[in-house]
Amino acid sequence: MREAKLPRLAIFSHPERQRVAEVIEEFRGFAKGKAKIIATCGIKDCSAEVLKNCDFAVVFGGDGSIISAARNLSQACVPIIGVNLGKLGFLAEFSVAEFKEFFIDIVSGKVPVEKRMLLRCKVFSSSNQSKEKFSSVAVNDVFITTGPLHRMIELTVAVDGRSAVGGLVGDGLIIATPTGSTAYNLSASGPILTSSMQAMVITPICPHSLSFRPIVISADSTVEVFCVRISSGTTISIDGQDSLRLSVGDIVRVEREKSDFLVVNNPSRTRWDTLAAKLGWAETPKYERD
């Protein structure tokens, strides 16, 4: 195989973590003659120019590392290969051993690449609704939580600029992508969506109501959340990584981001296999045997 034909890889990681550094060094030896590693970067450090010259981005770490990297990678349309060195591994689909096992199939295009939607969140103040005070891209979710003093807050939710869908009095609200449906949304009793779906989930957090249930809406919808009554510590968070303290009158607008991010799926299992293995989804009861 000639050098020009070798697939080009960029490696993303937290290099200060000893185990990560050791695994990357081992992978460099494994990849010799099979691929060209053109960059090794911190999670948020690779430039767009470098990414445009890559065929794949390999992220060594956990789901949090992939979520952080995905914001840059989505702009460059570079498929992500997630190698799990974290605790759970929903987005980081490959173990180190599996990555090596399927490596040739992955770089030769024989392993499916899935396109997943992102969300764009913007925050405006009531005094100047034309000026953004915050903007960020979400891989998993956008959520508003009460924060200190941990009193119930009041939010009004509107979809596609129409009259309010509902008023929420409770601990907060989650707006999730299909990818994020198995994250905070799941813990708040929201539905699980297939990751390739084009949809959003709106899920209340501990609503003071028996009738405010999670809903699934079109990916092309625009959701607006109006902060009617909040606590001094009420915060909006993006994937649990970026955040902003909210004020009364703030307007949160969430809609689909123009770009998607690409994930290389593990061919040895489905998303449902991962749910069963990682979270015990659809386990049968532990019957006593006669």
Helix (H) or strand (E) holding 262: strand 261-264
Strands (E), 126-171: 128-138, 141-145, 153-159, 164-170
Rounded CA-CA distance 89/182 in Å is: 12
Q: Which of 45, 55, 63, 141 is catalytic?
A: 63
The H or E element spanning position 243 is strand 242-245
Strand order in the sheet with 8-13: 36-42, 8-13, 56-61, 80-84, 261-264, 113-116
Which of 79, 87, 85 shows the shortest CA–CA distance to 61? 85
Confirm whether 63 is a catalytic residue: yes
Side chain identity at residue 270, one-letter code: T
Q: Looking at the annotation, which residues are catalytic?
A: 63
